[in-house]
Amino acid sequence: MVTCMNLATMTEKPIEKETTTDTAPTLPIPGFHDQVVDLGRETVGTVRCENPFMVAEKVNVFYGDNHAIRDVTLEIGKKQVVALIGPSGCGKSTFLRCLNRMNDTIESARVTGRITLDGDDIYNKKQDPVALRARVGMVFQKPNPFPKSIYDNVAYGPRIHGLAGDRAELDDIVHSSLERAGLLKEVKDRLEDSGTSLSGGQQQRLCIARTIAVNPEVILMDEPCSALDPIATARIEDLMDELCEDYAIVIVTHSMQQAARVSRRVAYFHLGHLVEVDDTEKVFTNPQHKLTEDYITGRIG
C-alpha cells in the first residue's frame, strides 16, 4: 500500500470496474531497462462515471508517424475535477488538447476515435471549432492575457459570440466573471489598465475570468499553476474548488500533491496509454497498476 498525502474523504457511490482478459503488449519502464511491465489493453480502474457529460472512446492521436495517444477511453462528469498525471511526454497534454480540438491547429496531427460533449460528436464536420471552444474553454500553462485592458480581456469572448445585448449587459458579464475568478476586488478601480500589467497569479485569474465569461460547460487547465508562486497557486486551487460546482474541470498537473488536493478522480498516463483511472483517494493510497505505484512513489517520473 502506498502512503497518501492529505486527501478529502470521498463519498461518491463506487462504480463497478471494467475488466479484460485480453493478452496485452508490454513496455519497459523508463530508467528500468531490465524490467518489463504489462500495460494492458484496457485501462485499470473505472473509466466510466456517473452522469457522464464528456466521453472519449478509443481515442488515438498521431503526429505524422508518431502514435502519441493509444486507444484512450475516459468519461468526464459534471461538477467534478479530473486530474491527468504522468511523466513528461506521456500524452496527458495531447489528450487534453483533443477535448476542444486544439490539436486542429497542428498540421501533422490526426485524431481517431470518438469524443462527445453532451452526446454531440465534437469532431463532426458540421461542428464549428470556435463554437466548441466557447463550450470547452482552456487555461494554459503560462498566463496569456491579450495586450488589451483588463475589461477588454474579459469582454472579448462575449463580444465575438454576441452574448451581450448592450454595454450594461456586457458590464455585468465582465464584473461577474472577474468576481467568480476572485479578481474583482483587486482590479475594480483599474479595469482600463493593461491585462499584462498584473502579477503572474492575477494574470492567470484574468485568463480564467476570460474563459468563464462565455459560459463554458467544461474548463480545461494545462498545468495552470506551474509558473506561479505558492500563494498564487493556493488561490487558483481554491478557485477550482469553487468552479467545479458549476463546471466539469480537467487539469493536467505534474504535482501529485496538487492532484490530491483539487481532484475527485485521477487518470495516470504512460507512453500514450491511459494506464489507470479511479477516485483520487484510491489511486494515491492503493494503486492497482505497478506503473502507477512506481510513479506516485517516485521510482519513475
pLDDT at 227: 87
Where do the structural domains in the chain lie, given as residue ranges? Answer: 43-144+215-296
Q: Which segments of the chain have a pLDDT < 70? A: 1-41, 301
- At a CB cut-off of 8 Å and minimum separation 6, what does 273 contact? 27, 39, 43, 70, 71, 72, 91
pLDDT at 9: 39
pLDDT at 39: 55
The residue among 143, 123, 125, 126 whose CA lies nearest residue 54 is 123
Question: CATH assignment of 43-144+215-296, given 3.40.50.720, 1.25.40.20, 3.40.50.300, 1.10.10.10?
Answer: 3.40.50.300
pLDDT at 13: 38
- pTM for this entry: 0.85
pLDDT at 7: 41
